[in-house]
Structure 1
Amino acid sequence: MSTSFPTIDQATFHNSFVEEMKGEATFNNSPRQVPGYHYSRVTPTPVHDPKLLAWADELAAFLGLSKPAERGPAVDALAGNLVTGSMKPFAARYGGHQFGSWAGQLGDGRAISLGEVTATDGTPWEIQLKGAGPTPYSRRADGRAVLRSSVREFLCSEAMHYLGVPTTRALSLVQTGDEVVRDMFYNGNPQAEPGAIVARVAPTFVRFGNFQMMAAAGELDNLRALADYVIRRYYPELGEPSGPQVYVRWFEEICGRTAVMLAHWMSVGFVHGVMNTDNMSILGLTIDYGPYGWLEPYDPDWTPNTTDFGSRRYAYGQQPNVGLWNLWQLARALAHLVETPELLRPGLDLYSATYESTRHEMLLRKLGLTNIAPDEDKALFEALNEALAEAETDMTLFFRHLSHLAPALLSGQEQEAAAWDTLLAAAGYATAPAAEARLREWLPRYLQRLRQETAAPEAIRAQMLAANPKYVLRNYLAQQAIEAAEAGDLSVLNRLMEVLKTPFAEQPEHEELAAKRPEWAREKPGCATLSCSS
């Protein structure tokens, strides 16, 4: 990496949101309602002993930033202890629907944005400190984050990027030297845990809830100003906001991007866990990595979030529908900018169509197929979902092993019955043979369909391996990294991060990181279930 890059304390920050939006400049961090503003100016609360634990080298190089020493002025800036002259820290005001109910004012309760740096390609990227202390939007919380949740956010932000999923990024992980008290499962057992701060990065962290808050409060001038700001800076292809039709086209673009993001989630088996409208990016990026998880036993009703166990609103199979519901809530807010709400309905239809087409295309790639039999393939995909669930199949391992075995069957290198036995032994969690019956019926049907393809087996294998990751951030792997980091050992975290940078590569020396969830992790906190606590 070039040594000519500055460290973050030497970088020049720009502050478009602060300078163009309406802000409160009292620097009063006490929790309260903040009517009439898009944001509040705040100052991060210093921590005792900031120390750099992890750094995203490739992202830093893109941003034009050098890796800092373990301690020093740059790490002070990443911990909120140092605010440089070009930074104008702020916390954004927004609202949102949480678990389907309007929650009123929410806002950046533990996130403080420092401003924007200009990346090496000339684009501005906002840097935000998560866990940097209280803001007016902290409600009854302390504005801090613990090491376990910060490790998970750092790892997952970067892992999703390398999987090709639209996502916010993470630049650094800093331990604060302070302890934070958290009741991990809200069951009356609070404990002191080590604190940490993640510097997360995105073009903007504006979300659906920013617009909902303005509309709910009747602040229509603020609503329009925010919409115009986002369009000018992040949707310049739409032109200057000069009339209602621009807002209609913009909403359609948001719907399309959100649909593509959801299709990516479903393709890799990612479950966000808390798809509240305040956790939905206006750019169609995955945002706010809390109680997330990856499908291990394939179960459309699975959610990693203990808070959601009652309704399973945010379960894996519900995510596409929730995405549509959330967009409908955004449409209700943006309806104030157009002549009639009906003008926004085509955007919702576009979401559904884009999701279905993108999801279908991704499944074709995962199975080594081309779009030569769309009706047949749709039925094939529906049958696969049912078969995977019944067999309690590990989604990641199933598709990865299939990527090797199916092309080998085409070229006569494997016997069919033996190949399917190998696949089910490697990817199955179910112990009863009857649970595998439907999947054993599906596999020959799939192979028959695969034989209609004209590509060579090696080309099919290459297509499948490029669509089916071998390595994903399974919760038990993240938990192992957390426990080691809490004990002062960063080698587990660093190794895991390096492996997750090339999730589609074989990396045989790291084979154990591709293993299915071990039995000891089935019920272990942090491995199977999580809460919103951080």
Structure 2
Amino acid sequence: MQLSIENTFSQELPADPSTANTRRQVEKACFSYVTPRIPSAPSLLQVSNEMAETLGLSQEDIKSKAFLDMVTGAHVQEGTAPYAMCYGGHQFGHWAGQLGDGRAINLAEITHQNKRWAIQLKGAGETPYSRTADGLAVLRSSIREHLCSEAMYHLGVPTTRSLSLSLSGDQVLRDVMYDGNAAYERGAIVCRVAPSFIRFGNFEIFASRQDTETLKTLTDYTIKHFYPQYEGGTKEGYLGFFNEIVQNTLEMIIHWQRVGFVHGVMNTDNMSILGLTIDYGPYGWLEAYEPGWTPNTTDRQNKRYRFGNQPQIALWNLLQLANALYPLIGETEPLEAILQSYHTEYPKKYIAMMREKLGLQMAEESDIQLIADLEKNLQASETDMTIFFRNLSLVSKNITTSWEDAFYAFAKAAFYKPEEISKTIYSHWETWFQNYIKRLSRETLTDAERKVQMNKVNPKYVLRNYIAQLVIDAADKGDYKLLDEIHTLLKNPYDEQPKYERWFAKRPEWARHKVGCSMLSCSS
């Protein structure tokens, strides 16, 4: 197995002079060298072949012992020096100080076809940043990370990727709901891939310590390798760099809202400097359209990271990044202007995205009210977001069916309790559909053409919470057929895929309050 290794992060940035793997505060360094823990009996469960091909790995490579050794940390590749990154972060709105890669170990950077990829193991052992934890991960959370990384990629959402999912052969003690009922689970390792895993928190830690020298070194490195259109070392370059991050983050959030993804723990240490979805912990997918829903049990009371608040949290996190970069710029006004652009642009981009979901190509002022009325109706009764928008493409602007028959046919598919829809709710829906069809009549696309366009932005299949849990339940028993099936299904989320039609279904009642389906913790 031949890999083109060209490390930049560890060669161009300051390293922690200590090589001891002990918990400590790391000063004036961007990373600490660390060796992955050797797993007792590693075995490969699944490989994302597309990602492997992107890295220049052949099927023969994937089947080799060298590949298994690499993606489980069983053997350190020649010419590499694994490390854990140092960063801080705001967690649930409060500065948490030094955090760092507590259970992630960066192996190397691989170049292929003029692209550089950072390879990282999650769950391969403790690091100086593990705090009170063991740096390991379990099969349950690793399946969720592996599947969702790839699902998001195929949905067209900016994301980190997963190259592989493996078992370590070790038992790991975890308290799933933090209620004192710890139990042993099977250990697992995900091999993650991204152009870079640098986060907002990487910059925050140095700003918090008034270490402007290291902050500048890191910022100039990031601009050089990931935002080369700007000039490091200049105020204009730093402002352009920040503006680009703001725009990339905005695009990512729009995609989250489009597909109904809830990150669950949008701390600043979980925000990618490249605008990628990163750190799939207690995430979830909207079943019913509920802007107030969060899957994270830790956030149950305040719901800071609820679906409807994600755009505002992203802006708040960007403000923290602006504060971190301020020592390099020395002026607040240009940073504030860039942040204001997010505030101004988000509503425009959101409306444009919703027009696409509704199959509207032309922009009309009345669309804002049409969208607002739709969101109000979706919350009036428990309505499945994915099914509703996917089936909306079936509505004809030349409808001839009676309103009542058409509505209840629609309701049966997308509404969780259609029998509970009151006359008032029905009348609101009737008004909305009448307005929607009138609006469609002013569009030039035929029904068939519009259906094609809508089905490109409204997925038929997403990684529903209960589906992920079914995969986990089967895998816990040593059955990985469902893992393979769902991994295949999620590669084509916008296609009909008749053989997988059973997964185009509302959340079953048994999953309404089941741990892993309706609520999750950060436990891994």
Judge same fold: TM > 0.5, yes or no. yes
Q: 2:441 aligns with which of 431, 451, 457?
A: 451
1:146 aligns with 2:138: yes
1:205 aligns with 2:193: no
Deviation per CA, 1:284-328, whole angstroms, max 9, x where unpaired? 000000000111111110000000001000000000000000000
Distance (whole Å) between structure 1 residues aligned to residue 403 and residue 110 of structure 2:
55
Please give the secondary structure, in 2, of the residue aligned with 1:187: coil
Distance (whole Å) between structure 2 residues aligned to residue 70 and residue 304 of structure 1:
37
TM-score (norm 2): 0.97
Please give the secondary structure, in 2, of the residue aligned with 1:466: coil
Match of 2:76 in 1: 83
Code of the residue aligned with 1:87 in structure 2: it is: T
Q: Is the 8 A contact 1:259 1:352 kept in 2?
A: no
Please give the secondary structure, in 1, of the residue aligned with 2:229: helix
1:316 aligns with 2:307: yes
Q: 2:97 aligns with which of 97, 100, 104?
A: 104
Code of the residue aligned with 1:114 in structure 2: it is: L
1:413, distance to aligned residue in structure 2 (A): 7.0
Deviates more, 1:425-434 or 1:196-205: 425-434
Q: Is the 8 A contact 2:220 2:233 kept in 1?
A: no
Match of 1:233 in 2: 225
Code of the residue aligned with 1:16 in structure 2: it is: T
Distance (whole Å) between structure 2 residues aligned to residue 390 and residue 427 of structure 1:
13
Deviates more, 1:343-352 or 1:282-291: 343-352
- Aligned counterparts, 1:389-400, within 5 A: 389-400=379-390
1:418, distance to aligned residue in structure 2 (A): 2.5
1:288 aligns with 2:279: yes
Match of 2:165 in 1: 173
Match of 1:250 in 2: 241
Q: Is the 8 A contact 1:208 1:281 kept in 2?
A: yes
Code of the residue aligned with 1:484 in structure 2: it is: A
Distance (whole Å) between structure 2 residues aligned to residue 57 and residue 259 of structure 1:
30
Code of the residue aligned with 1:33 in structure 2: it is: Q
Match of 1:423 in 2: 410
Distance (whole Å) between structure 1 residues aligned to residue 43 and residue 483 of structure 2:
15
1:42, distance to aligned residue in structure 2 (A): 0.6
Distance (whole Å) between structure 2 residues aligned to residue 97 and residue 369 of structure 1:
39
1:516 aligns with 2:506: yes
Match of 1:356 in 2: 347
- Aligned counterparts, 1:36-51, within 5 A: 36-51=28-43
Distance (whole Å) between structure 2 residues aligned to residue 94 and residue 493 of structure 1:
34
Code of the residue aligned with 1:92 in structure 2: it is: M
Match of 1:163 in 2: 155
Deviation per CA, 1:50-94, whole angstroms, max 9, x where unpaired? 100010011111111134566723211111110011222110000
1:470 aligns with 2:463: no
1:353, distance to aligned residue in structure 2 (A): 3.0
Distance (whole Å) between structure 2 residues aligned to residue 412 and residue 521 of structure 1:
36
Distance (whole Å) between structure 2 residues aligned to residue 417 and residue 450 of structure 1:
20
1:414, distance to aligned residue in structure 2 (A): 5.0
Please give the secondary structure, in 1, of the residue aligned with 2:110: strand
Match of 2:432 in 1: 442
Distance (whole Å) between structure 2 residues aligned to residue 95 and residue 278 of structure 1:
6
1:352, distance to aligned residue in structure 2 (A): 2.2
Deviation per CA, 1:421-480, whole angstroms, max 9, x where unpaired? 111110112342127433343222211111111111111111111111000000110111
Distance (whole Å) between structure 2 residues aligned to residue 526 and residue 212 of structure 1:
32
1:332 aligns with 2:326: no
Please give the secondary structure, in 1, of the residue aligned with 2:413: helix
Q: Aligned residue pairs: how many?
A: 520
Distance (whole Å) between structure 1 residues aligned to residue 393 and residue 405 of structure 2:
15
Code of the residue aligned with 1:387 in structure 2: it is: N
Deviates more, 1:61-70 or 1:77-86: 61-70
Runs (5+) with no aligned partner, structure 1 = 1-5
State the percentage of identical aligned residues: 49
Distance (whole Å) between structure 1 residues aligned to residue 203 and residue 322 of structure 2:
10
Distance (whole Å) between structure 1 residues aligned to residue 259 and residue 67 of structure 2:
35
Q: Is the 8 A contact 1:12 1:86 kept in 2?
A: no
Distance (whole Å) between structure 2 residues aligned to residue 129 and residue 243 of structure 1:
35
1:412, distance to aligned residue in structure 2 (A): 4.6
Q: 1:261 aligns with which of 228, 252, 277?
A: 252
Q: Is the 8 A contact 2:142 2:190 kept in 1?
A: yes
Match of 1:3 in 2: none
Code of the residue aligned with 2:420 in structure 1: it is: A
Q: Is the 8 A contact 2:403 2:430 kept in 1?
A: no
Distance (whole Å) between structure 1 residues aligned to residue 348 and residue 222 of structure 2:
27
1:271, distance to aligned residue in structure 2 (A): 0.3
1:13 aligns with 2:5: yes
Please give the secondary structure, in 1, of the residue aligned with 2:149: helix
Deviation per CA, 1:243-264, whole angstroms, max 9, x where unpaired? 1111111111100110010000
1:531 aligns with 2:521: yes
Deviation per CA, 1:311-349, whole angstroms, max 9, x where unpaired? 000000000000000000111110111131222112112
Code of the residue aligned with 1:36 in structure 2: it is: K
TM-score (norm 1): 0.95
Code of the residue aligned with 2:489 in structure 1: it is: V
Runs (5+) with no aligned partner, structure 2 = none
Distance (whole Å) between structure 1 residues aligned to residue 373 and residue 203 of structure 2:
40
Code of the residue aligned with 2:93 in structure 1: it is: G
Change (3 A) 1:187 1:426: same
Please give the secondary structure, in 2, of the residue aligned with 1:158: helix
Deviates more, 1:475-484 or 1:26-35: 26-35
1:273 aligns with 2:264: yes
Code of the residue aligned with 1:360 in structure 2: it is: I
Q: 1:54 aligns with which of 21, 27, 46?
A: 46
Q: 2:20 aligns with which of 16, 21, 28?
A: 28
Please give the secondary structure, in 2, of the residue aligned with 1:262: helix
1:127 aligns with 2:119: yes
Code of the residue aligned with 2:362 in structure 1: it is: N
Structure 1 vs Structure 2 CA RMSD: 1.4
Code of the residue aligned with 2:353 in structure 1: it is: M
Distance (whole Å) between structure 1 residues aligned to residue 24 and residue 190 of structure 2:
25
1:175, distance to aligned residue in structure 2 (A): 0.4
1:505 aligns with 2:514: no
